[in-house]
C-alpha cells in the first residue's frame, strides 16, 4: 500500500501515462529513440541487429503496459488462476509473434521499410529462446499462447537457463554440440531483482513438541540459494490479455562473493560458492524422453518448484482467505513428473510452516494439483534414489514416506487379500538402492491425471498405471489430446496460406476458432483457389530449397516430392527405418535402366533433429543419414530423382520454415511409443500429408481428416508385445528388402561400414525392440502408394485442402478449454476484444 501513488497525485500520473506507440509514425519514433538512446547508436551505425533490438523494445514497451493491466484486472477480479509448471518452454522467436498477436505486423513492416529495413531480415536477427528439448517444451509454449488468447488468468513457471538446448553443428557428417548462450541480448525479459526467494538445500530435521503438545518438524542448516524472478510477457492473440511466464534464475544468497575469503587472498574459493549457486539454473538437460538421475537435475527441480510455490502462496495469502479456499483460488498443473516435488513442498508448507493438520493439508494439496503424463517409455519415467533425496531434502523424504504410508493403508483396506499390490503401487520401490517413483507420487498427490492422446491415455490406464485405476477409480484418469496454436503454426509460419484461407472463410476469425477451417471444404473444387493453393506450396518449397542450397550447398528441385522427418532423433521415432527406406529407394533406382528410372517420381528426403549428446545410437543415425546423402547426392545416375539432406540445428524458427514446405512428413514411431506427437498436426495444418503408424495423435488425425487422406502402415500397438516376445524367444527373420539394405551398408557403399554396425546389429542380431524389420515391408509399400498419389496432382491437392479443412480439433485452444473445464475449474476473464483479427 505504501508503494502506491497518493490520490492527489494520480491525475498527473494518468495524464502522463503512455499507451505505447499508436500508429506507424509512433512506431518509427520509438524505434529511432531506442536506437539512439537505449542502444546508444545512430543512423550511421544502425545495422539489422540494432533494428531488431529497437523494434523489439518498442513492442516490449507496448506489451508490458498490457501486461500490467492484465495483472491488475486479474487481481481485482480475484479470479482463480492456473499455474503451469514446466521445466521446458520452447518459445522460439518472440518479435514476429508479438507483432502478429497484437495485430501490428503490417504497421511495423511499413515503418521499418521507411527506416531502411526489410522486416524479414529484422525478424531473423532474433535468437530462438530454446528452453526445451522438443514436443513437451513446445506444447508448453503453445499452451501459454492459448491461455492468453482465451483470457484465462494463468502464469507459467519455469527456469531461466543460461544455456538452452545446444546448437547442433554437423561436421564431417557427425553431430557436434555447441553451447547456446542466448542471453547476450534478450529484450523480452524483465528482471525482477525485488522478487527473490531463498531456497534451502541439505541440512537436517529437528523434531520437537510445541506448547499444545503437537509434534513439529524444523528443517535446519544446510545452504541457501537465492531465486531471482525474470518475467516474460505472453501476448494473447487479438486480445489485450498479456500473461506472465516467470522464470527463476539462481544466485548465491550471500551477495556477490565471499569478501572474507577474498581479503585473505583466497581468490579462487571466494567465487566458488557464487558459481555453485549459479550452476543450478545454468543449463537445460538436453534429454528428451530420458531421465538420468543426476543430483544437479534434482536441485533444479526443487529450486524451481520451491520458488514458484512460495510465489503462489504469497499471492494467495494476500487475499486473506482461509486455507481451505486455496484450491478455489489456485490450480497447479504438473507438466510431466519434473515438478512432482511441488506436491511435497505444498504439504510441507501447510503442515510445518502454517500449522495445518495432515489430513486438512493433504485434501488441499490433492485438490490443487493435476498431473499430465507425456510418455510410457520406461527409460523416461523418473525415479530418484531415496539416499539422494534424504541428503538434499531431508524433510521432504519424511513427508514422502508419510504420504506413502497413508496411501498404502488405504490400498490395504481396499484390497485386503491382494498381497502383491502394495509392492507394485508403493511410491518407494524396494530395489537396491531404494527409489522414489515420481509418477506414482504425482498420481497420489493429484486429483486428475491425463494422457496426451486417446491411445496414450488408454495405454497408461491399462499398463503403467493400471493398479491406480482400480484404486482410485477410472474418473481420476482422463485424456486431453494435444493441440498446437494456429497463430504460430499457420498464421506466422505460413502467412500466404493463412491469407488464402481467410479469403474463403471471410476473415482471420479461424485463428480464434479453428473449426471455421471447415468452410474451405466448400471451395475444394474452386479452380482459382486450388491454383493459389498449389502456388503457395511451391513458393514455400522454393524458399526451403534456397535455404538448403545456401546452408549445405545441395541443389534440390522444388517440384520434387519433399519428404520430411524433423523431430528429436530417437530409436523409437525410427529415423533409422526412414534412412533404410531411402537406401532401398536408391538401390532400386540404381538397378533400373535410365529409361525405367524416368518413371520414378523425384524425391527430396529431408531430415532434421538433435540427438542427446550421450545417445550414441542416435548419433550413429545422424551419421548414416549424412553418409547416404553424400553418396546419393553426388551420383550422376540419380540426379534429381533422389536427394538426401540433413538440416543442421533443427529448432522452432527452422520448423516455421520447413513445415510449410512439406508434401509428406513422417510420423513413424513404433506403435504405442509416441504419446501424441504435435508436429503431425502442424504438418497437416500447413497442407502437407503424412505417412505414419497407428500411434499417438495420428489416430485421431485419421479420424478427423478421413483415412483416404493419410498414409498409415505398420503393426498395431496391441501386437507389439507379442512381436517382441517372438523376437526374443521365437524366430526372428529379417525382411528380405531390409537385408539387401544391410548388405549394401556392409559392403561399404556409404563409407566405413563399421560406423553403422550398431544400427544393423540392433535390428538383425539383437531383439529389434522397435520392430523396424516387422514394419519395413509395409513402410516401403506405403511409400510406393505415396508416389502414385503424388503423381495425380489434382487428387493430391484435394486431399490437402480437405485435410486442412478438418483440422479444427487440433488447436491448443481446444486443449486449454478442456483442461480449464475438466481439470482446473477456471473461467476466462472477460475483456474487450482488440483489433488484431
Ligand atoms: C513428449 C512425447 O514424446 C510426445 O509424443 C508428445 O507430443 C509431447 C507433448 O505431450 O511429449 N514426451 C516427452 O518426454 N517428450 C515429448 O515430446
Residue of minimum CA distance from atom 12 in ligand 1: 374
Could you tell me the sign of the dihedral formed by the alpha carbons of 220, 426, 289, 448, in that order?
negative
How far, in Å, is the centroid of ligand 1 from the Cα of 572?
12
* Ligand 1 touching residue 575 (CB < 6 A): no
* 384 bridge partner residues: 436
How far, in Å, is the centroid of ligand 1 from the Cα of 466?
21
- 320 classed as catalytic: no
How far, in Å, is the centroid of ligand 1 from the Cα of 375?
6
How far, in Å, is the centroid of ligand 1 from the Cα of 140?
11
Could you tell me the sign of the dihedral formed by the alpha carbons of 667, 673, 679, 685, in that order?
positive
How far, in Å, is the centroid of ligand 1 from the Cα of 639?
37
Report the pLDDT value the prediction gives residue 2, as an integer from 0 to 100: 60
DSSP structural state of residue 749? B
> Do 398 and 349 touch, CB atoms closer than 8 A?
no
* Ligand 1 touching residue 677 (CB < 6 A): yes
* Ligand 1 touching residue 484 (CB < 6 A): no
Distance, CA of 300 to CA of 306 (rounded, Å): 10
Report the pLDDT value the prediction gives residue 835, as an integer from 0 to 100: 45
Closest CA to 343 of 259, 444, 209, 208: 444
Closest CA to 323 of 359, 356, 366: 356
The string of DSSP codes covering 165-191 is SPEEEEETTEEEEE--B--SS-TT-EE
Distance, CA of 645 to CA of 625 (rounded, Å): 8
- 603 classed as catalytic: no
**Cell numbers found for residue 27:** 512506431
Residues of the chain with pLDDT under 50: 1, 835-837
Report the pLDDT value the prediction gives residue 833, as an integer from 0 to 100: 58
Residue of minimum CA distance from atom 14 in ligand 1: 289
The residue from 81, 374, 504, 643 that is catalytic is 374
Report the pLDDT value the prediction gives residue 830, as an integer from 0 to 100: 84
DSSP structural state of residue 7? G
* Ligand 1 touching residue 112 (CB < 6 A): no
**Cell numbers found for residue 375:** 510418455
How far, in Å, is the centroid of ligand 1 from the Cα of 376?
10
Distance, CA of 566 to CA of 354 (rounded, Å): 49
* Ligand 1 touching residue 678 (CB < 6 A): yes
Phi and psi of 668, rounded to 5°? -120, 30
- H or E element that contains 332: strand 330-335
Q: Which atom of ligand 1 is nearest to the CA of 138?
A: 9
pLDDT tens across 355-409, in order? 999 999 999 999 999 999 999 999 999 999 999 999 999 999 999 999 999 999 9
* 390 bridge partner residues: none
148-160 b/e (C-beta count within 10 Å ≥ 16 → b): bbbbbbbbbbbbb
Instruction: State the residue for C-alpha cell 482461509.
Output: 322
Q: Which residues contact 182 (CB under 8 A, 6 or more apart)?
A: 127, 128, 129, 130, 163, 164
Find the distance separating the first CA and the last CA of the chain, reported in whole Å.
Answer: 39
* Ligand 1 touching residue 450 (CB < 6 A): no
Report the pLDDT value the prediction gives residue 658, as an integer from 0 to 100: 99
Could you tell me the sign of the dihedral formed by the alpha carbons of 367, 334, 812, 716, in that order?
negative
Q: Which residues contact 507 (CB under 8 A, 6 or more apart)?
A: 837
> Do 377 and 289 touch, CB atoms closer than 8 A?
yes
> Do 779 and 668 touch, CB atoms closer than 8 A?
yes
Determine if residue 655 is left, alpha or beta; phi over 0 gives left, psi from -120 to 50 gives alpha, anything else beta.
alpha
> Do 604 and 562 touch, CB atoms closer than 8 A?
yes
* Ligand 1 touching residue 288 (CB < 6 A): yes
Report the pLDDT value the prediction gives residue 693, as an integer from 0 to 100: 99
Report the pLDDT value the prediction gives residue 255, as an integer from 0 to 100: 58
Taking each continuous run of H as one helix and of E as one strand, the counts in the chain are: 34, 24
- 162 classed as catalytic: no
> What domains are there in the chain, each with its CATH number?
20-77+94-126 (no CATH), 78-93+128-479 (3.40.50.2000), 557-804 (3.40.50.2000)
How far, in Å, is the centroid of ligand 1 from the Cα of 289?
7
Q: Which residues contact 557 (CB under 8 A, 6 or more apart)?
A: 545, 602, 604, 640, 643
* Ligand 1 touching residue 136 (CB < 6 A): yes
* Ligand 1 touching residue 581 (CB < 6 A): no
- 207 classed as catalytic: no
* Ligand 1 touching residue 146 (CB < 6 A): no
531-566 b/e (C-beta count within 10 Å ≥ 16 → b): ebbbebbeebbeebbeebeeeeebebbbebbbbbbb
Report the pLDDT value the prediction gives residue 836, as an integer from 0 to 100: 42
ipTM score above 0.95: yes
Give the residue, out of 134, 138, 439, 655, with the most ligand 1 atoms within 8 A of its beta carbon, to mutate for a pocket test. 134
The residue from 81, 338, 682, 783 that is catalytic is 682
Phi and psi of 678, rounded to 5°? -130, -20
Report the pLDDT value the prediction gives residue 837, as an integer from 0 to 100: 38
Q: Which atom of ligand 1 is nearest to the CA of 372?
A: 10
Q: Which atom of ligand 1 is nearest to the CA of 452?
A: 10
Q: Which atom of ligand 1 is nearest to the CA of 374?
A: 12
At 233 the three-state DSSP class reads strand
How far, in Å, is the centroid of ligand 1 from the Cα of 451?
10
Based on its alpha-carbon atoms, the radius of gyration of the chain, rounded to whole angstroms, reads 28
* Ligand 1 touching residue 135 (CB < 6 A): yes
Distance, CA of 74 to CA of 91 (rounded, Å): 24
Cis amide linkage into residue 27, ω under 30° from 0: no
Report the pLDDT value the prediction gives residue 265, as an integer from 0 to 100: 74
Instruction: State the residue for C-alpha cell 532401398.
Output: 584
Amino acid at each position: 500500500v505504501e508503494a502506491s501513488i497518493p490520490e492527489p497525485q494520480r491525475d498527473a500520473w494518468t495524464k502522463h501515462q503512455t499507451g505505447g506507440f499508436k500508429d506507424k509514425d509512433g512506431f518509427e519514433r520509438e524505434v529511432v529513440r531506442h536506437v539512439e538512446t537505449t542502444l546508444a547508436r545512430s543512423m550511421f551505425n544502425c545495422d539489422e541487429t540494432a533494428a531488431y533490438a529497437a523494434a523489439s523494445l518498442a513492442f516490449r514497451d507496448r506489451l508490458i503496459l498490457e501486461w500490467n493491466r492484465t495483472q491488475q484486472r486479474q487481481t481485482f477480479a480475484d479470479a482463480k488462476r492456473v499455474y503451469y509448471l514446466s521445466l521446458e518452454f520452447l518459445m522460439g522467436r518472440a518479435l514476429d509473434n508479438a507483432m502478429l498477436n497484437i495485430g501490428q505486423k503490417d504497421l511495423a513492416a511499413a515503418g521499418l521499410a521507411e527506416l531502411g529495413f526489410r522486416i524479414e531480415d529484422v525478424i531473423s536477427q532474433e535468437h530462438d529462446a530454446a528452453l526445451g528439448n522438443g514436443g513437451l517444451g513446445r506444447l508448453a509454449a503453445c499452451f501459454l499462447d492459448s491461455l492468453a488468447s482465451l483470457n484465462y488468468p494463468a502464469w507459467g513457471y519455469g527456469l531461466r537457463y543460461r544455456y538452452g538446448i545446444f546448437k547442433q553443428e554437423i561436421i564431417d557428417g557427425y553431430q557436434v554440440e555447441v553451447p547456446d548462450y542466448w542471453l547476450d541480448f534478450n529484450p523480452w525479459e524483465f528482471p525482477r531483482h525485488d522478487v527473490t526467494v531463498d531456497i534451502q538445500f541439505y541440512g537436517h530435521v529437528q523434531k520437537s513438541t510445541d506448547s499444545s503438545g503437537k509434534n513439529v518438524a524444523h528443517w535446519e542448516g544446510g545452504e541457501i540459494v537465492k531465486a531471482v524472478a525474470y518475467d516474460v510477457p505472453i501476448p494473447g492473440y487479438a486480445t489485450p490479455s498479456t500473461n506472465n511466464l516467470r522464470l527463476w534464475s539462481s544466485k548465491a544468497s550471500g551477495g556477490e562473493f565471499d569478501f572474507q575469503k577474498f581479503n585473505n587472498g583466497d581468490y579462487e574459493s571466494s567465487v566458488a560458492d557464487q558459481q555453485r549457486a549459479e550452476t543450478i539454473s545454468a543449463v537445460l538437460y538436453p534429454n528428451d524422453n530420458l531421465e538420468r538421475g543426476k543430483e544437479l537435475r534434482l536441485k533444479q527441480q526443487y529450486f524451481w518448484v520451491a520458488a514458484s510455490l512460495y510465489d503462489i502462496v504469497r499471492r494467495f495469502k494476500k487475499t486473506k482467505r482461509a486455507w481451505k479456499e486455496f484450491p478455489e483460488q489456485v490450480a497447479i498443473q504438473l507438466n510431466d513428473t519434473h515438478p512432482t516435488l511441488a506436491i511435497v513442498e505444498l504439504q510441507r508448507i501447510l503442515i510445518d510452516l502454517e500449522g495445518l493438520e495432515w489430513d486438512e493439508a493433504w485434501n488441499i494439496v490433492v485438490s490443487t494439483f493435476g498431473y499430465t503424463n507425456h510418455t510410457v517409455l520406461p527409460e523416461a519415467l523418473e525415479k530418484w534414489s531415496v539416499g539422494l533425496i534424504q541428503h538434499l531434502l531431508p524433510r521432504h523424504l519424511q513427508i514422502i514416506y508419510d504420504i506413502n504410508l497413508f496411501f498404502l493403508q488405504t490400498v490395504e483396506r481396499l484390497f485386503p487379500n491382494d498381497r502383491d499390490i502394495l509392492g507394485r503401487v508403493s511410491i518407494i520401490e524396494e530395489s537396491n538402492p531404494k527409489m522414489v517413483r515420481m509418477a506414482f507420487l504425482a498420481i497420489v498427490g493429484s486429483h486428475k491425471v491425463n494422457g496426451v492422446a486417446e491411445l496414450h491415455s488408454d495405454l497408461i490406464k491399462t499398463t503403467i498405471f493400471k493398479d491406480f485405476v482400480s484404486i482410485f477409480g477410472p474418473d481420476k484418469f482422463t485424456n486431453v489430446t494435444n493441440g498446437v496454436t494456429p497463430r504460430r503454426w499457420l498464421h506466422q509460419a505460413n502467412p500466404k496460406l493463412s491469407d488464402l484461407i481467410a479469403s474463403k472463410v471471410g476473415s482471420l476469425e479461424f485463428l480464434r476458432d479453428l473449426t471455421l477451417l471447415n468452410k474451405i471444404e466448400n471451395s475444394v473444387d474452386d479452380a482459382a483457389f486450388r491454383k493459389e493453393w498449389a502456388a503457395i506450396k511451391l513458393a514455400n518449397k522454393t524458399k526451403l530449397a534456397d535455404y538448403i542450397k545456401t546452408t549445405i550447398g545441395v541443389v534440390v528441385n522444388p517440384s520434387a516430392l519433399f519428404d520430411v522427418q524433423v523431430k528429436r532423433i530417437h530409436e523409437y521415432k525410427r529415423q533409422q527405418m526412414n534412412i533404410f527406406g531411402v537406401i532401398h529407394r536408391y538401390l532400386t533406382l540404381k538397378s533400373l535402366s535410365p529409361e525405367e528410372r524416368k518413371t520414378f517420381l523425384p524425391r527430396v528426403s529431408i531430415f532434421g533433429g538433435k540427438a542427446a549428446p550421450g545417445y550414441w545410437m542416435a548419433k550413429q543415425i545422424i551419421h548414416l543419414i549424412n553418409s547416404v546423402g553424400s553418396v546419393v547426392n553426388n551420383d550422376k545416375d540419380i540426379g534429381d530423382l533422389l536427394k538426401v539432406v540433413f538440416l543442421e540445428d533443427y529448432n522452432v524458427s527452422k520448423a516455421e520454415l520447413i513445415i510449410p514446405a512439406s508434401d509428406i512428413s513422417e510420423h513413424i514411431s513404433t506403435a504405442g511409443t509416441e504419446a501424441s506427437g504435435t508436429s503431425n498436426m502442424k504438418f497437416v495444418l500447413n497442407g502437407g500429408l503424412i505417412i505414419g503408424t497407428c500411434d499417438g495423435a495420428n489416430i485421431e488425425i485419421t479420424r478427423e481428416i478421413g483415412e483416404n487422406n493419410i498414409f498409415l502402415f505398420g503393426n498395431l500397438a496391441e501386437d507389439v508385445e507379442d512381436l517382441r516376445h517372438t523376437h526374443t524367444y521365437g524366430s526372428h527373420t529379417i525382411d528380405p528388402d531390409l537385408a539387401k539394405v544391410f548388405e549394401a551398408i556392409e559392403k561399404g557403399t556409404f563409407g566405413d561400414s563399421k560406423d553403422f554396425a550398431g544400427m544393423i546389429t540392433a535390428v538383425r542380431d539383437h531383439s529389434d525392440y522397435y520392430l523396424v524389420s516387422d514394419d519395413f515391408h509395409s513402410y516401403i509399400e506405403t511409400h510406393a502408394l505415396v508416389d502414385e498419389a503424388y503423381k495425380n496432382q489434382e487428387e493430391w491437392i484435394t486431399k490437402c485442402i480437405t485435410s486442412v479443412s478438418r483440422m479444427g480439433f487440433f488447436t491448443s485452444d481446444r486443449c486449454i478449454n478442456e483442461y480449464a473445464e475438466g481439470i482446473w475449474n477456471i473461467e476466462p476473464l472477460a475483456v474487450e476484444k482488440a483489433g488484431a483479427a
